[in-house]
Amino acid sequence: MVMKSKQSLFWILVTVALVVRLLVAILPGRQLEPPWSGGSDSQYYATLAENLLEGKGLTYAGHPTAFRPPIYPLFLALTMILFGTYWALAARLLQFFISLFTTLIVARTAQEIFGEKAFKLSFLLCLYCPTLVYAIGQIGTETLSQALIAAGFYGFVRILMATHNTEALRWASIAGCTVGVAALTRFSAPAVLLSGLYATFVRRHWGSAAVLVITFCLTLLPWLLRNRLAFGVWTYSTFSSFNLVRGILDPSGRSRGDREVKMALGWTHQEYEQNKHERPFPSELVMDAQCRQVYAQLVREYGWRLVPLHLAKLSWFWLSTDQLFDPGGRGLNGFIWRLMAVAWLLWLVMAGYGFGTATQSVS
């Protein structure tokens, strides 16, 4: 009877979570931004997709761009072709299923490490994770990159669990390709490769490490070749130097320091990414070099003040303290942001406790 009650409760919780997630995908309709959004880069990805469909390639204001990775604009362009004016709704519905895949793969990873009992709990925690739910409604890279990174981590675990070297090599190639695609979806994703290399070192199988790196690099190669042809140099991203400048002048990343950024550079990324042809912009390589010069000057000016600034940024981005104390919205939007921040902190506490407990039980 107790087992049956637990099973019923599990499926009730799953059903409620799926309904909430589906509503998050459907309620915004054809709007680019959902009504609860605090702002996003959706317009910039949509612009890239529209430029692709117009035969202009990955460009802003007539210039080849490597400001944004290519996979998500291609994904949006495909939804625009297939679903016309309903493309935003279709993209969110696809993200609903992609996020469900993320939940399943995370639960499967937990099961591989900690045993059968970990599957259901991990599945429920992911289903109700506020950031995963919120991302479904956004036209942005989060949902797709989360799925790819989760799949990459599953591959790393399978490398560790492999019973023979051939199996480890196979999973290393799959994980390398998966993380490579993630790196073409979100520019911060290559850092995930370090976890994969750690798995190969723990296993002491250097062949798996080589395969992991080679397949990752081969997956990136078409993008690097495209940038070599477009810019005349080998480059992965032309946006990183701008992010360094913005990290000092607009540390919260919520466009509150746009005036300071424009004073320092003479332009903002919003102006460029709005596809404004009437204003002449230099090539992205010139803008990138300018950003590096300004960043070096800012480092000299700020000096030791950068230490508390970066510590504050860590608390904002890892612990969501900025959303908790200063959500930047009023009424319902502000309440939702604060609620998500509290939920995220609870999820982090539970994750830390659960990981410690599971590790002890396994050992």
Concatenated DSSP letters for 315-346?
A: HHHHH-HHHHH--S--HHHHHHHHHHHHHHHH
Q: How confident is the model at residue 254 (pLDDT cuts 50, 70, 90)?
A: low
Tens digits of per-residue pLDDT, 115-147? 888 899 889 989 988 889 989 999 999 999 999
Q: What is the pTM of this model?
A: 0.88
Is the pLDDT at 210 greater than 50? The verdict is yes
Mean pLDDT for all residues in the chain = 87
Residues of the chain with pLDDT > 90, as a percent, come to 53
Please answer whether residues 17 and 132 qualify as being in contact, where contact means their C-beta atoms are separated by less than 8 angstroms: no
pLDDT reported for residue 76:
97
Of the candidate ranges 155-159, 240-244, 248-252, 343-347, the one whose mean pLDDT is the lowest? 343-347
Q: How many whole angstroms separate alpha carbon 6 and alpha carbon 252?
A: 43
Tens digits of per-residue pLDDT, 63-82? 899 999 999 999 999 999 99
Burial of 190 (0-12, 13-18, 19+ CB in 10 A): middle
pLDDT reported for residue 360:
59
Tens digits of per-residue pLDDT, 236-252? 999 989 988 888 888 77
Q: How confident is the model at residue 362 (pLDDT cuts 50, 70, 90)?
A: very low
pLDDT reported for residue 62:
82
Is the pLDDT at 152 greater than 90? The verdict is yes
pLDDT reported for residue 344:
72
Is the pLDDT at 18 greater than 50? The verdict is yes
Nearest to 223 by CA among 173, 272, 270, 187: 187
Please answer whether residues 123 and 104 qualify as being in contact, where contact means their C-beta atoms are separated by less than 8 angstroms: yes
| DSSP string across 35-87 | TT----SHHHHHHHHHHHHTT--SEETTEE--SS-SHHHHHHHHHHHHHGGGH
Number of helices and strands in the chain (H, E): 17, 2
Is the pLDDT at 359 greater than 60? The verdict is no
Q: Any idea what DSSP says for residue 275?
A: T
pLDDT reported for residue 278:
62
The CB density around residue 159, as the number of other CB atoms within 10 Å, is 26
